[in-house]
Amino acid sequence: MTQNKTIEITRLPEFNKDLKKLAKRFGTIEADLDLFCRNVIYLYHVDEVKNPAIKRIAGLGVETSLYKAVRFACRGLGGGSQSGIRVIYAFFEGPPMRAELVEISYKGEMENQDRIRRRYG
């Protein structure tokens, strides 16, 4: 019998601010992010389906497991997974398992590793 596992997903206030800016340019990004959270994060961490689009971030000097999604399908940019949208999130094994969305950016406009170090360092 399969155990029904869930992941609690939260967003940093800074993430919401970044998302709001991107939503003005790409109207579908909120719905695309929901699909990403339900499918990609869940499959990678709960079902352990390996995905080359998810890269663990190492060498930041923080203890928390941080990941970067280098492929994010955005319908507002043509729907392909190589849209240029990047999502950085922290994952906590739990229980309960949870993911905290840290940063969302478009083609490296906002690589803010200081935010990561302040929050998880």
Residue count of the chain: 121
DSSP calls for 79-98: S-SBSSEEEEEEEE--SSPE
Q: What is the fold of 8-120?
A: YaeB-like fold (3.30.2310)
pLDDT-based confidence at residue 2 (cuts at 50, 70, 90):
very low
- Report the 10 Å Cβ neighbour count for 38: 12
pTM of the model: 0.77
- 13 — phi, psi (to 5°)? -55, -35
Least confident of 23-32, 35-44, 71-80, 94-103: 71-80
- Return the pLDDT at 14: 92
DSSP state of 75: G
